[in-house]
């Protein structure tokens, strides 16, 4: 799919210009990819999904040699500029530039390695945080029956059962990456996971798909969370 | 009513220019109708009523021959462009263009056929999803006593009792359309319905009226849903 | 106070231009007053306080002769244009123009008559609706202890006790106005009231003050409403 | 860190221009600091964290002589203009200009005096207000286990235990400042505090850091508050 998602802008004409520009640029263009992730960051920020310096985004620029563009460490994801990104190689080493990658980069590399994903987006929402704690003892959350599930890659029916694992958070990202690799191998077909009290990671074959997955999961997490606040059946 | 609703824009001057432009164009102008639905999609997106690729919108362009403009399948309704729409005839066959209509198009055609509606809008909100599940066993939701009901077409008092049916979701849209036809005939006068865990469908004689109905129902669904989270009478 | 509130705009430079323009125009300028109420409507719409065609706004243009500018009937308050307003005299008769005043205009005239208010704003929020029903049996809501109360005209301490009456909704606005007059005389010093399942009315000596009062009450209603959803003391 | 946070703007090009302009200006430039605080106010207003005339912001312009820029009294923090700020010296006396500082200025001076902070931001959110009352009897709130805590200055792990004191609100700011001094000395290392039913105060070495702290605390307060509304473990 060639459509690049640009969050709603007040400047109506700008929307069409920006979208046309994105469509005209080659996918591997660093500036275009950075712009797209910047726009996504602004939209996520408006939803309060990347407050403070939370969240991080990546996109594969090339496979041979491997180059991944990722948000720099300590950067506010809602107000990024072109110098807030850096390129890393397959070992996670920064290529050029002066920025330092966040340790969470290892998670991105793990997902790409295990699933050949094209883009990974990590959000840190209120409902994602709440549910990651509320269902931690179960090791995850089974989501089923929602039409919204059909928006996940490869899913064609609302009767699908999507398992959303919850991993324990850790500052040791090397160990965390190992745990993640095991989960991704044990549960092929999943589309995301939660880090306990840390938020959602999801991915796609490209940025657009990853963003769509974020919106779907954040929607479902809010629905499930709010359902747990219902006390009365009387409308 | 000739007023075309344009969602709030930050560009204050643009608002008046855009509105004046909409008013100047004939109602059947495809570009104008597509622009109006695009604006509505952006507003709904800002409210998180059409996340992912959820939701779909249509408007009747002409009755003889019948032509309906509808959002294409798999398109993000919050960031649409002119090529995200297609025209279909009364049998649902795409007329010109390369886009494919969503299977949900059958629902739109059914509503138009039964009620002679001019525009149908489908949103997929958090509260709509929650209540569609919570009240599914009752087959619907009776809404009464709210002043907001007066905004529904033909309703003049808050004491009106609006029945909002809840239909079981299905991927078989042919069967779903048949069930819908029965409901629309059994319950003449209703202004919308919920698909279980799938959201709201509502309509109007034109786009503006349909949008107004969406806002009214989404407001009422949120009020009713939140009332069911109240645990204490002590302020 | 001469400051005219303009809701946040994305166009940063536009903000200063618009504000400077508002400040330069005389207070009685119909176009300026209409612009200010239009901006307020857009902000309220973004907060979902005037969905559908709910809400209505007025401002006194002159006392001798009496002229009040008020939003027209059936107009969407979030996307208004200059022709969505009309002037009425002290009897409520439209002066010039082709628009028809809403029957709710009688409420505005009553408040102006009893309190000599300069502007009345009516919003129709989710929490205002919920609390107007939840506390209807008490005839109102006592609000105290909140620092936010200090923003109400004449209030200097958070220890103030603000009584927010709840009146029964009715389609007979003549009778409703009579009931309102009684309440305003019995409870001098109040800054607003709720109509059951219909929302908030508040006022000020000018538009800016009325808008400030709306924000304060809508904030307090949300705080009080959410406090009634707390089930556990364990964070 | 030289990055100045500018809230998401619809004008995509404007973003880069504004950010570049902020970066080019010296940190002590009054106009630049006022612009930055104005942008922050607009963003906080969009989140409903500074409704009415609530909230106040300050930044140290110079240490020798001491000059602090602070928002004027009674000003709407969401729609500020350059003349809504004033400079005060170390005794709180206004330097030049015609505006009057809010009595809450004493809180800002106390924090600067005790902690050598560079900027103080006070927000007045719904969840901050709710939790400040709900946990008042405990004198504060212990926040731990959240990855978001890592965004607080000096904190490197989610296992950190952050104490958020709750002080009783008062209109006697001289006494309140004394109480605050005691708390700041008893609890070195805290990053903010709540005033009962009055909201959050937090600070940073510069405006950017203070803003980041606001977002982190407001996020955590919402998470903690919503967790207290959960009634069921069944998703």
A15 Cβ contact partners less than 8 Å away, ≥ 6 residues apart? A6, A8, A9, B79
Q: Buried b vs exposed e over D115-150: b needs ≥16 C-beta within 10 Å? A: bebbbbbbbbbbbbbbbbbbbbeeebbebeebbbbb
Please report all neighbours of A, defined by 3+ CB atom pairs within 8 A: B, C, D
In this predicted structure, what is the pLDDT of residue D20?
A: 41
Cα D114 to Cα A28: distance, rounded to the nearest angstrom? 51
Eight-class DSSP state of A49: S
d(CA D8, CA C220): 27
What's the pLDDT at A235?
63
Distance, in Å, from the CA atom of B118 to the CA atom of B62, rounded to the nearest integer, reads 9
Residue D11 contacts B, CB cutoff 8 Å: yes
At C181, the pLDDT band (50, 70, 90 cuts) reads very high
For residue B85, the SS3 value is: strand
Closest CA relative to residue A217, chosen from A198, A202, A229 = A202
Q: What is the DSSP letter of A42?
A: H
Most C CBs within 10 Å: which of D43, D47, D79, as the mutation test of the C interface? D79
List of chain A residues whose C-beta atoms are within 8 Å of the C-beta of residue C12: none
Residues 6+ apart with CB under 8 A from B160: B144, B149, B150, B152
**Residue contact D231–C234, C-beta within 8 A:** no
Report which secondary-structure segment, H or E, holds A95.
strand A94-95
Token pair listed for B120 = 């149908």
- Residue B114, Cβ neighbours under 10 Å: how many? 16
Q: Would you say A143 and A124 are in contact if contact means Cβ atoms under 8 Å apart?
A: no
SS3 call for B170: coil
For D132-159, write each residue's pLDDT tens digit. 999 999 999 999 999 999 999 999 889 8
**pLDDT surpasses 90 at D2:** no
Tens of pLDDT, residues C127-144: 999 999 999 999 999 999
Judged by a CB distance cut-off of 8 A, whether residue A32 touches chain D is: no
pLDDT at B8: 36
For C:193-232, CB contacts with A below 8 A are 229, 231
C-alpha A117/C-alpha A178 separation (Å) is: 17
Decide if A94 contacts A62 (C-beta within 8 A): no
Q: Which residues contact D174 (CB under 8 A, 6 or more apart)?
A: D106
First to last CA, chain B: 43
Q: Give dist(CA D77, CA D74) in Å, integer.
A: 9
How many whole angstroms separate alpha carbon D193 and alpha carbon D219? 14
The ipTM value here is 0.88
| Proportion of chain B above pLDDT 70, given as a percent | 87
pLDDT on residue C163? 98
Q: What is the pLDDT of residues A20-39, one digit of tens each?
A: 444 443 447 999 999 999 99
- The answer to whether C107 and C138 are in contact (CB under 8 A) is no
Contact assignment for C215 to D52 by CB distance below 8 Å: yes
Picking from D10, D46, D47, the nearest residue to A9 by CB comes out as D10
pLDDT surpasses 50 at A150 = yes
pLDDT at residue number D235: 63
Q: What is the residue-averaged pLDDT of chain A?
A: 88
Distance, in Å, from the CA atom of A29 to the CA atom of D214, rounded to the nearest integer, reads 35
Give per-residue burial for C55-87: e unless 16+ CB within 10 Å, then b.
bbbbbbbeeeebbbbbbbbebbbbbbbeebbbb
User: Does residue D13 surpass a pLDDT of 70?
Assistant: no
Q: Which candidate, D84, D108, D74, D70, places its Cα nearest to that of D195?
A: D108
D134 vs C233: CB contact, 8 Å cut-off?
A: yes
pLDDT of residue A205: 97
Q: For residue C52, count other CB atoms closer than 10 A to its CB.
A: 24
Name the residue with higher pLDDT: B151 or B11: B151
Rounded Cα–Cα distance for residues A164 and A154 (Å):
16
Cα C113 versus chain centre, distance: 16
Q: What is the dihedral of CA B200, B205, B209, B211, to 10 degrees?
A: 40
CB of D7 within 8 Å of any CB in chain A?
yes
Residue D21 above 90 pLDDT? no
Handedness of CA B143, B148, B154, B155 (dihedral sign): positive
Nearest to A229 among D5, D222, D231 (CB): D231
pLDDT in tens, B140-174: 999 999 999 999 999 988 989 999 999 999 999 99
CA-CA distances (angstroms) from residue C104 to C36, C58, C71, C74, C109?
A: 20, 11, 10, 11, 9
Neighbours of B, requiring at least 3 CB pairs below 8 Å, are: A, C, D
Task: For strands C192-195 and C94-95, give the pairing.
Answer: unpaired
Residue D75 and residue D100: Cα distance in Å, rounded? Answer: 10
Residue of D8, D43, D45, D126 for testing the chain A interface, max A β-carbons within 10 Å:
D8
What is the pTM assigned to this prediction?
A: 0.89
Nearest CA in chain B to C54: B148
- Distance to chain C for B114, nearest Cα, Å: 25
What is residue B83's DSSP assignment?
Answer: G
Q: How far is CA D217 from CA D121, D197, D200, D221, D228, in A?
A: 12, 16, 8, 6, 17
- The HSE-up count of residue D35 (CA atoms within 13 Å, CB side) is 20
Chain A within 8 Å of D15 (Cβ-Cβ)?
A: yes
Averaged pLDDT, A215-225: 98
Contacts of C229 in chain A (CB under 8 A): 229
Beta pairing partners, B58: B70, B120
User: What 8-state DSSP symbol labels residue B132?
Assistant: H
CA A112 → CA A13, A116, A203, B210, D18, distances in Å? Answer: 36, 5, 9, 44, 36
Distance CA A108, CA A207 (A): 13
Backbone angles phi, psi at B14, to 5 degrees: -55, -40
* Mean of pLDDT values over A167-192: 97
Helix, strand, coil share of chain A (percent; to 5): 40, 20, 40
The CA-to-CA distance between both ends of chain C, in Å, stands at 43
Cβ separation A195–D156 shorter than 8 A: no
Q: Tell me the chain B residues in contact with residue D11 when contact means C-beta distances shorter than 8 Å.
A: 10-11
Residue D37, C-beta contacts closer than 8 angstroms, at least 6 positions apart: D57, D59, D69, D71, D80, D85, D207
CA distance B80 to B180: 28
Residues with Cβ within 8 Å of residue C185, at least 6 apart in sequence: C114
Torsions phi, psi for A117 (to 5 deg): -65, 155
> How many beta-carbon pairs under 8 angstroms link A with D?
111
> pLDDT at residue D181 above 80?
yes
Give C106-124 pLDDT, tens digit per residue. Answer: 999 999 999 999 999 999 9
CA-to-CA distance for C226 and B117, rounded, in angstroms? 39
Query: How far is B83 from B85, CA to CA, in rounded Å?
Result: 5
Give me the pLDDT at residue C62, please. Answer: 96
Which are the contacts of C120, defined by CB distance < 8 A and separation ≥ 6?
C57, C58, C107, C108, C111, C112, C201, C202, C203, C210
Q: CA A16 to CA A37: how far, in whole Å? A: 18
Judged by DSSP in three states, D39 sits in helix
| Per-residue pLDDT tens over the stretch A104-136 | 999 999 999 999 999 999 999 999 999 999 999
User: Strand ranges (DSSP E) for chain D?
Assistant: 56-62, 67-71, 85-88, 94-95, 119-123, 140-144, 161-167, 192-195, 199-204
For residue D55, CA distances in Å to A36, B29, C20, D88 come to: 34, 48, 24, 18
**Mean pLDDT for all residues in chain D:** 88
Our CA-based measurement puts residue D127 at a distance from the nearest CA of chain B, in whole angstroms, of: 15
């Amino acid at each position: 799919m060639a459509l690049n998602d640009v969050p709603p802008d007040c400047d109506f004409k700008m929307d069409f210009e920006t979208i046309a520009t994105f469509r005209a640029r080659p996918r591997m263009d660093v500036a275009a990819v950075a712009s797209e992730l910047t726009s996504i960051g602004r939209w996520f920020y408006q939803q309060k999904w990347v407050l403070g310096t939370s969240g991080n985004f990546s996109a594969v620029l090339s496979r041979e040699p491997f180059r991944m563009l990722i948000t720099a460490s300590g950067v506010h994801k809602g107000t990024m500029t072109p110098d807030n990104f850096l390129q890393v190689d397959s070992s996670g080493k920064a290529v050029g530039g002066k920025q330092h990658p966040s340790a969470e980069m290892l998670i991105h590399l793990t997902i790409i390695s295990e699933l050949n994903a094209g883009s990974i987006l990590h959000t840190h929402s209120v409902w994602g945080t709440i549910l990651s704690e509320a269902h931690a003892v179960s090791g995850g959350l089974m989501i089923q029956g929602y039409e919204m599930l059909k928006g996940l890659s490869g899913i064609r029916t609302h009767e699908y059962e999507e398992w959303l694992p919850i991993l324990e958070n850790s500052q040791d990202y090397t160990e965390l990456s190992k745990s993640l690799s095991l989960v991704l191998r044990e549960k092929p077909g999943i589309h995301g996971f939660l880090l306990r009290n840390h938020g959602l990671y999801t991915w796609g074959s490209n940025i657009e798909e990853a963003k769509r997955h974020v919106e779907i999961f954040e929607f479902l997490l809010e629905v499930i969370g709010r359902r747990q606040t219902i006390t009365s059946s009387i409308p």
